[in-house]
Amino acid sequence: MNTLSSNHLKRVCIIDNSGSGKSTLADDLGAQLLIPVYHLDQELLYDNFIPKPKNDRLTRHAQIIAQNSWIIDGNYPKVMYADRLARATLVVFLDISRFIAIPRVLKRYIATNYQTKNIPDTASNGISWKFAKWVVTYSRRKKLKELRDYCNIYPHIRLVVLHKGTLNDWIKKIVKP
C-alpha cells in the first residue's frame, strides 16, 4: 500500500454499508489524528431518523466540508457526494460483505436499543423497511465503481479500500506513535 502524506489525512470520507464499521473507524481516526469527526446521520437527521429539510441538510453539509480538516462518516450520495468528494483528500471504502454487516446491524439494534452516538440523540429504536432494504441490497461493487469514477474526476483524492481484517493494520501504518 502506498504511503499517505499528512495532506491526505486532512479531509477524510469513510463510506460503506451500515454495519461496516464506518463510525468506529471515524472515531478512532479522529481521536488519533486530532481531527473533528462528523457522523452524517447525526448531522442531517431529526429524531426518529426523519431527514431535515433539504436546504438545511445542504447548508450543514457545506459548513462541514468548508472546514480545513474533517472526517466524515456516512453516505448520503444523492445530493452531497460531488461536493464532499471535491473537497476530500482521502476516501476510505470499507469493503465489508452484507453477510457481516447485517448481523452487526442486528447486534447493534438489540444490544443498544439502537441508541448509538452517531445517530440523533432521541431517535427511537427501530429498523424500518427502507433501512433494512438499504442494508440488504447495498452493492459494494457498484459503490466502489462509483468511487473510482469520482477519483477520475477529482484526481487529488486517494482511495483506500479496506477489507475485513485489514483495518487495524492500516491504522497502525498511517498513524505513527
Establish if 1 belongs to a structural domain.
no
Establish if 61 belongs to a structural domain.
yes
End-to-end CA distance of the chain: 19
* pLDDT given for residue 43 in this prediction: 85
Residue 167 has pLDDT above 50, yes or no: yes
DSSP code, position 46: -
* pLDDT given for residue 1 in this prediction: 43
Expressed as residue numbers, the domain containing 168 is 6-174
What is the strand order of the sheet 158-163 is part of? 37-39, 70-73, 11-15, 90-95, 158-163
* pLDDT given for residue 159 in this prediction: 92
Establish if 78 belongs to a structural domain.
yes
* pLDDT given for residue 63 in this prediction: 96
Establish if 33 belongs to a structural domain.
yes
Establish if 52 belongs to a structural domain.
yes
Number of domain units in the chain: 1
User: How confident is the model over 75-127, as pLDDT tens digits?
Assistant: 776 667 789 999 999 999 888 877 777 777 777 766 665 445 555 555 555 56
User: How confident is the model over 33-83, as pLDDT tens digits?
Assistant: 899 999 988 887 776 667 888 899 899 999 999 999 999 998 776 667 789
Supply the DSSP string of 94-135, one letter for each residue.
EE--HHHHHHHHHHHHHHHTT--TTS-TTPPS---HHHHHHH
* pLDDT given for residue 82 in this prediction: 86
Establish if 143 belongs to a structural domain.
yes
Establish if 146 belongs to a structural domain.
yes
Residue 11 has pLDDT above 60, yes or no: yes
* pLDDT given for residue 19 in this prediction: 73
Residue 27, domain CATH = 3.40.50.300
